[in-house]
Amino acid sequence: MLIRLFLDRLKTIPLCMLLVGGFAISSHADQEVNVYSARQEALIKPLLDEFTVETGIAVNLVTSKGDALLTRLQKEGANSPADVLITIDAGRLYRAQEAGVLQPIESETLAAAVPANLRSPDNLWFGLSKRARGIVYAPDRVDPAELSTYEALAGPDWKNRVCIRSSTNIYNQSLVAGMLSTEGQDAVDTWLAEFVPNFARPPQGGDRDQIAAVASGRCDVAIVNSYYLGGMINSEDPQQRQAAERVAIFWPNQDDRGTHINISGAGVTASSKNTAEAIALIEFLTREESQQWYAEANNEYPVRDDVEPSDLLQSWGEFKADEVDAVELGRLNPQAVMAMDRAGWK
């Protein structure tokens, strides 16, 4: 009797082991990946949720400004919980690279998906989407034939006709950094000295404000990121839609280096404890469906050449993009700010 009881007990042991094992497995299935993102929640969370549904890997998210996240990552050091850093411009990716908070990752998927000039040579970070900085103009006052390049807006014809936001804005800094890289310091200084006095008003507001200013006749042209125009076209606010209807977009520098683009991108942190999951997430963000999502959700261009942009983006026409290395935008950012300071661009 006693022996049988003992034998019964024995039988339950494998069951117990199974339970414990099951726990181990389920806690293993409880994989997670921690993301520091400079892309704001609304422009990344839907993709992350999709990732969780498909892979079962939970994603924990903190959003903030790129430099703030980078500082947090640096100060937390080797103990940082972050696995992935997402930024919204090349300059921050470069800074993260220089700060040594990213690790190189081997991924054939990423190497195939992201063009070489939109990822770091050491595979520290990869572009996720492209953001183009075009010229918005008022068709009733500006003949597109008058427009050609960013540089041409420095001419005497454009006196008091140009709207652009503050040089504190990163997209202007990247634009000038890109020009510094290809045109050189002297050319840029000369250009800025003539371009800044052409401003119709002291730089103020955001890109949508510049578009509204063109629409209402405060100025005739403005340099803005195209997705803001897309956002206004799709806005629920009738005022924004009306303003967007009164303007058109022009892609400058088509006969030389191309229109300036910036990238949002991601890298795996050096302190990552979930490297495999982190790589899986970045690969997910560059796959075809995700690439289309950037265009549909925020009118950004895919980094993949084999993915068609949305209908709206296609309606703006194809354009030649400046192929300057994204690393250069980051490297020359301080010089760009100095040049703009010297020219009195507030």
Q: Which residues bind another protein (CB under 8 A)?
A: 34, 40-43, 60-69, 71-72, 75-77, 79-81, 91, 95, 165-166, 168, 170, 173, 201-209, 212-213, 215-218, 228, 231, 235-240, 243, 333-334, 337-338, 341-342, 346
CB of 16 to another protein, least distance (A): 26
Residue nearer to another protein on the CB measure, 95 or 304 = 95
CB of 270 to another protein, least distance (A): 15
Q: Residue 302 belongs to what H/E stretch? A: strand 301-302
Residue nearer to another protein on the CB measure, 253 or 298 = 298
CB of 41 to another protein, least distance (A): 6
Residue nearer to another protein on the CB measure, 198 or 333 = 333
CB of 46 to another protein, least distance (A): 12
Angle among Cα 167, 173, 174 to the nearest 5 degrees reads: 155
Residue nearer to another protein on the CB measure, 194 or 209 = 209
CB of 74 to another protein, least distance (A): 9
Q: Cβ distance 235 to 127 under 8 Å?
A: no
Q: Residue 38 belongs to what H/E stretch? A: none
What are the helix (H) ranges across the chain? Answer: 2-29, 45-55, 66-76, 90-99, 108-113, 170-183, 185-195, 207-216, 226-233, 238-245, 275-286, 288-298, 311-315, 326-331, 333-342
How big is the chain, counted in residues?
346
Q: How far apart are CA 344 and CA 334, in angstroms?
A: 15
Report the b/e string of 25-47 with b at 16+ CB within 10 A. Answer: eeeeeeeebbbbbbbeeebbbeb
CB of 91 to another protein, least distance (A): 8
Residue nearer to another protein on the CB measure, 229 or 324 = 229
Residue nearer to another protein on the CB measure, 33 or 110 = 33
